[in-house]
Amino acid sequence: MWRVEPVRARRGRLQVPAPRNPLTEALEAAHHELNALEAETFEALAAGDIARAATSFRAFRQSAERHIRCEEELLFPVFEMRARLPHGGPTSILRAEHGQIRDLLRDLAREIESGGSDAERLRAALRGVVADHQRKEETILYPWTERLLTEGEVDRLLARARAFRD
Ligand SMILES: [Fe+2]
Ligand SMILES: [Fe+2]
């Protein structure tokens, strides 16, 4: 069940507490930030500003790699332990997709830095993998993990995720 407080009606006043899904919300916000950095890179590239595209892409890649490591080193192990799905569960698919994302980021880095013409094809491939990957995390993995934890555990995991560095 979602950790949603029951709606409490009081005399002439309806209190509707916000749903408490802080882990899912924070990680969705991280995806949005990554997608904005990705868009920035390709806007610069479309405008012919290779230097700005390269700078923006470096920031995007660094943030994406950090997000992936945070999931693989902090979030997924917690899920695997609590769900008792260490092998062959949803995280094995997500980890394999992380591998594809990392490979595409590496290829894109080479292409963008050299001003190559294959960047748009690689971008389309990356978007194809990322869109489906993010959807699975946001609709299945994050909420499922959140349901397996107490509020205190969610808060501690979030604090560790926020402090996560390379
Ligand atoms: Fe992921
Ligand atoms: Fe993610």
What are the angstrom distances between the C-alpha of 73 and each of 24, 34, 47, 165, 166?
Answer: 17, 19, 37, 11, 11
**Are residues 41 and 52 in contact, defined by beta-carbon separation less than 8 angstroms?**
no
* Cα-to-centroid distance, 141 and ligand 1 (Å): 10
Q: Which residue has the tokens 């830095």?
A: 113
pLDDT at 125 over 90: yes
Q: Tell me the pLDDT tens digit for each residue of 19-32.
A: 579 999 999 999 99
Amino acid at 53: A
Q: pTM for the full model?
A: 0.87
User: Which has more pLDDT, 125 or 87?
Assistant: 125
pLDDT score recorded for residue 85 = 87
pLDDT at 112 over 70: yes
* Cα-to-centroid distance, 101 and ligand 2 (Å): 11
CATH 1.10.357.10 assigned to domain 21-162? The reply is no
Which ligand has the minimum distance to the alpha carbon of residue 129? 1
* Cα-to-centroid distance, 163 and ligand 2 (Å): 16
pLDDT at 40 over 70: yes
Question: Ligand 1 (ion): which residues have CB within 5 A?
Answer: 71
Taking all residues of the chain, what is their mean pLDDT, rounded to a whole number? 90
Mean pLDDT over 51-62 rounds to 96
User: Which has more pLDDT, 165 or 163?
Assistant: 163
**Calpha distance 1→158 (Å, rounded):** 20
Domain ranges of the chain: 21-162
* Cα-to-centroid distance, 8 and ligand 2 (Å): 34
Q: Which residue has the tokens 């594809």?
A: 100
